[in-house]
Amino acid sequence: MSRIHLLSPRLANQIAAGEVVERPASVVKELLENALDAGARRVDVEVELGGTRLVRVRDDGAGMDAEDLPLSLSRHATSKINSLEDLERVGSLGFRGEALASVSSVSRLAITSNTSDSSSAGLRAECEGSTMEVKVKPAPHPRGTTVEVRDLFFNTPARRKFLRTEKTEFNHLEEVLKRQALSRFDVAFQLRHNQRTVHQLAACDSELARERRVASVCGPAFMEQALYIETDIGGLQLWGWVGLPTFSRSQADLQYFYVNGRVIKDRLVSHAVKQAYRDVLYHGRHPAFVLFLELDPASVDVNVHPTKQEVRFRDGRSVHDFIFRSLHRALADVRPADQLAGQLEPAQITALAEPGQETLAWGRPGGAIAPARGGSRPMPGQVGEQLQAYRQLYASSSASMRLPETAAEDVPPLGFALAQLHGVYILAENRDGLVLVDMHAAHERITYERMKVSHGGEGIHSQPLLVPQAVAVSAREADCAETHRELFSQLGLVVERAGEESLVLREVPVALRDADMEQLLRDVLSDLLVYGSSDRVAAHIDELLSTMACHGSVRANRRLTIPEMNALLRDMEETERSGQCNHGRPTWTQLGMDELDKLFLRGR
C-alpha cells in the first residue's frame, strides 16, 4: 500500500460522478431539479443521440450572476442550505452541491445565465473534464439559465462502455422528464430528441389540465380506470390517482410516488401500496398509481442517498399505516356505479391528452358498505344458504324474461337480468347497453366480503398449544417480540421471551392451527422490523376465508332464475371490491351500444 495522500480535485469529482452520474438520464435529472429549484416556469430539454452527444436544459428561472456562476461548478457549493437546521428540513429538490461539479468532470460543460430582464446581458462559463479549468465570458441570454453537456464520459472510456443503445438511453431520459412533469403541474416542459419534439406539456391551471397531463404521461387508459383520492389526517396528506385493480400491469412500470414533490422509490411505501391491493389484484400483477404524500419536511430525511431517490421517515410506521388505510378504503369503496360513472367514451379518451375538452366526469369512491338486503350477513357456515335467501328475497317477483317497467334514471347500475349463458355468465341490460357478469366470480366476492365482516366482528380467537413451541431467533427479533406483545395478542399469538435469543409460542389463532406457525411468527417479526407493522396473520386468515367462499359460492353450470340473477346483481352493487373476485379477476364488464353497433357495422 502507498502512503495516504489527498486526491486531486479532478479525480475526487470523477469519483463523485460515479455516484451521481450513471447515464445521460442522471444528468437530466440533476439539471431539471436545479431549474425547478431556481423557480422556473418553463423548462426545455434538448438531447442528441440519447443524450450521449448533447444534453441541453434551458429554463426561465432566477439565473446566476458573475459571482455565483463559476462557484456553481465547485464541489459542495450550494445556495439551498446554510446550517444543520436547514439540512434537517430540506424543502428544495437539490441541496448537496455536487451535481454540476460531478457532471463537468466527465463531460464538456457550458453554462449560460442571466439574472436580469435584459437579454443582452449574461455570462457563459465553460469547463472541460480534462482540465477542470473554468472560463467565464460575456454572452447574451434571456433571464434564466441554459446548461449544455456535450460528449458525456469522453474522458472516462470505461464508463462510456457501460452505456446502452441510443434508444435505451433515451427511454431512461424520457422517464426522468415524465417524473418531473408529474411533480410540477404548474411548469411547462418540452423534450426534443435529435431535432424532433417528443413532449410538449403546457403548464396546468385547472384540474382538467392536470388530468390531461397525467393522461399524456401515463396514457389515457390509465385515467379512464383511475380513482382520484385525497386524504388528510394528522399532518399527513395523500392525494393523486390510483388505478383500479382491473388496470394492473405485468411490471411495476407505472408507479409514481412523490414525497413533498420529490419522486422516490421506497420499500416502505411499496409495501403499503402492495398490502392495500392484496385482496383485489391478480397474482403476479402490479398496480398503477400517481400519488403525492405531503408532510412536515422535518419528518422525513432526504439525505440518505447520493441521487436523493430514497428517503427515511421519522415515524415510518405511521406513514405506512396512513398510506395503506387510505388506499385500502378507497379501493374498497368502489362500486359498479362508480366505475360506470368514471368510464369515458372513446372520443373523450382521445381528446383527454389534447386541449379543448371542457368537462369530464370522473368516478369517485362511494360510501361505506351497505348491509345485505333481506337479513343479516351469513356466517361462514351458512354460505350454502345464500341462494335460498335470494329465492326468498325475490319470491314475489315475476320470473319472466320481461324487464321491470322502470324509468331510465331509476335503472340500477348493473341493470336487470335478461338471461344466463352456458350456466356461467349473466346477461343484463342497463342504461348504457349490455352487462356481462361472471356469476361464480361475483358470488365468490360477495360471500368472501360477508365472511370477512363476520369474522372481523368476532375478532381473532386463539387456542393454547398442547406443547408450547420454542423458536430460536436473533436478539433483535426477541426484543421486537417483547416490545410488541400486545400486538401479537391482538393477532391471536401469545409469544413469550424465553432467553436472549429464544421465544416460546403458547397460543395460535384457531383458524390457523394447521399452518406453519414458526414460519408465520418469523414473517411477522420480519415485517415489524422492516415496516413497523404486519398483516401476515390477517392475510393467512383471509386466504382461508377466500377458499371457503370459493367452495361455498355458486358453481359454474348452475342454473339461476331471473329473480336470483337480479338478486346477485343488486348484491354486487352494494358489496365492497365487487369488481374483482377473490383472486383479482374481473367479475363483470360493460359493452356499450356504440361498441355493439361497431361489432355489427351499424351506422356505416
Q: Are 576 and 446 in contact (CB under 8 A)?
A: no
User: What's the CA gap between 536 and 530, in Å, rounded?
Assistant: 13
Cα 106-308-188 angle, rounded to 5 deg = 85
User: What's the CA gap between 155 and 159, in Å, rounded?
Assistant: 9
- The model's pLDDT over 272-330, given as tens digits with 9 standing for 90+, comes to 999 999 888 877 889 999 999 999 999 998 888 777 778 899 999 999 999 999 999 99
* Section 398-422 average pLDDT: 74
User: In whole numbers, what is the pLDDT of the chain averaged over residues?
Assistant: 84
Given this model, what pLDDT does residue 11 score?
Answer: 80
What is the SS3 string spanning 517-574?
A: HHHHHHHHHHHHHHHCCCCHHHHHHHHHHHHHHHHCCCCCCCCCCHHHHHHHHHHHHH
Q: Are strands 236-243 and 255-259 parallel, antiparallel or unpaired?
A: unpaired
Place 371 in a pLDDT band, splitting at 50, 70 and 90: very low
Torsion of CA 263, 264, 265, 270, to 10 degrees: -90
Whether the pLDDT of residue 215 is over 80: the answer is yes
Given this model, what pLDDT does residue 76 score?
Answer: 79
Output helix, strand, coil percentages for the chain, rounded to the nearest 5.
40, 20, 40
Q: Are 191 and 198 in contact (CB under 8 A)?
A: yes
Enter the C-alpha cell of residue 41.
Answer: 416556469
* Section 416-434 average pLDDT: 94
Span of 94-103, 117-126, 436-445, 460-469 with lowest mean pLDDT: 94-103
Amino acid identity, position 483:
T
Whether the pLDDT of residue 394 is over 60: the answer is no
Whether the pLDDT of residue 7 is over 70: the answer is yes
Reported pTM: 0.77
Q: Are 366 and 334 in contact (CB under 8 A)?
A: yes
Whether the pLDDT of residue 131 is over 70: the answer is no
Distance of CA 139 to the CA centre of its chain: 44
User: What's the CA gap between 198 and 46, in Å, rounded?
Assistant: 10
User: What's the CA gap between 211 and 216, in Å, rounded?
Assistant: 9
DSSP class of residue 95? -
Of 126, 155, 351, 323, nearest in space to 240 by CA: 323
What is the SS3 string spanning 296-336?
A: CHHHEECCCCCCCCCCEECCHHHHHHHHHHHHHHHHHCCCH
Cα 542-544-546 angle, rounded to 5 deg = 65
Place 408 in a pLDDT band, splitting at 50, 70 and 90: low
- State whether residue 136 is helix, strand or coil: strand
In sequence order, which residues have a C-beta less than 8 Å from that of residue 337 and are 6 or more positions away? 366, 413, 573
Q: Are 418 and 427 in contact (CB under 8 A)?
A: yes
Given this model, what pLDDT does residue 409 score?
Answer: 63
**DSSP string across 463-490:** EEEEEEEEEE--HHHHHHHHHTHHHHHH
Domains and CATH numbers, the chain: 9-201 (3.30.565.10), 207-350 (3.30.230.10), 377-604 (3.30.1370.100)
Whether the pLDDT of residue 158 is over 90: the answer is no
* Section 345-371 average pLDDT: 33
Given this model, what pLDDT does residue 355 score?
Answer: 38
Given this model, what pLDDT does residue 343 score?
Answer: 52
Whether the pLDDT of residue 74 is over 70: the answer is yes
Given this model, what pLDDT does residue 483 score?
Answer: 92
Of 44, 307, 47, 34, nearest in space to 171 by CA: 47
Q: How many CA atoms lie within 13 A of 162 on its CB side?
A: 9
User: What's the CA gap between 78 and 99, in Å, rounded?
Assistant: 10
**DSSP string across 28-46:** HHHHHHHHHHTT-SEEEEE
| Strands in 165-235 per DSSP E | 188-193, 196-201, 226-233
